[in-house]
Structure 1
Amino acid sequence: MPSLAQMTGSLHIHNFYIGKLKAKQEQLFESDPELAMLLDNVSEVLRERVVTLADEIAELEYEE
């Protein structure tokens, strides 16, 4: 199992890329709506992983 520091780092990386995807999605919304929708779907998958990571981190912090 990854350490708490690794999981926290992964959480920050996920959030960083979610922000990047959302910014690019907004840029492409009018010029390429299909790509914008795809980027939204990818960011949704990452957000689901963020929720899971946050839960795992909270559980590890509680156990310590």
Structure 2
Amino acid sequence: MPSLAQMTGSLHIHNFYIGKLKAKQERLFDSDPELAMLLDNVAAVLSEHAVVLADDIAEVEYKE
């Protein structure tokens, strides 16, 4: 299992890219709605994984 620092770093990276994807999606919404929808789907998958990571982090912190 990864360390707490690795999981926390991974969560920050996920959140960074989720923000980037959502910002790009908003800019592309009018010019390329299909690409905007794809970016939204990718952001949703990353968001789901970020929730799992946050839960894992909370569990590790609780055990400590």
TM-score exceeds 0.5: yes
Q: Which residue of 2 aligns with 1:53?
A: 53
Q: Give me the whole-angstrom Cα distance separating, in 2, the residues matched to 1:44 and 1:54.
A: 15
Residue segments in structure 2 that go unaligned for 5+ positions in a row = none
Alignment of 1:1-64 (within 5 A): 1-64=1-64
1:6-51 Cα shifts (integer Å, max 9, x gaps): 0000000000000000010011000000000000000000000010
By how many angstroms is 1:55 displaced? Answer: 0.3
Structure 1 runs (4+) greater than 6 angstroms displaced: none
Report the TM-score, using the length of structure 1 for normalisation. Answer: 0.99
Percentage identity across aligned positions? 83
- Give the length in aligned residue pairs: 64
CA distance in 1, matches of 2:53, 2:39: 21
Q: Could you tell me the TM-score, scaled by structure 2's length?
A: 0.99
Residue type at the aligned position of 1:23: A
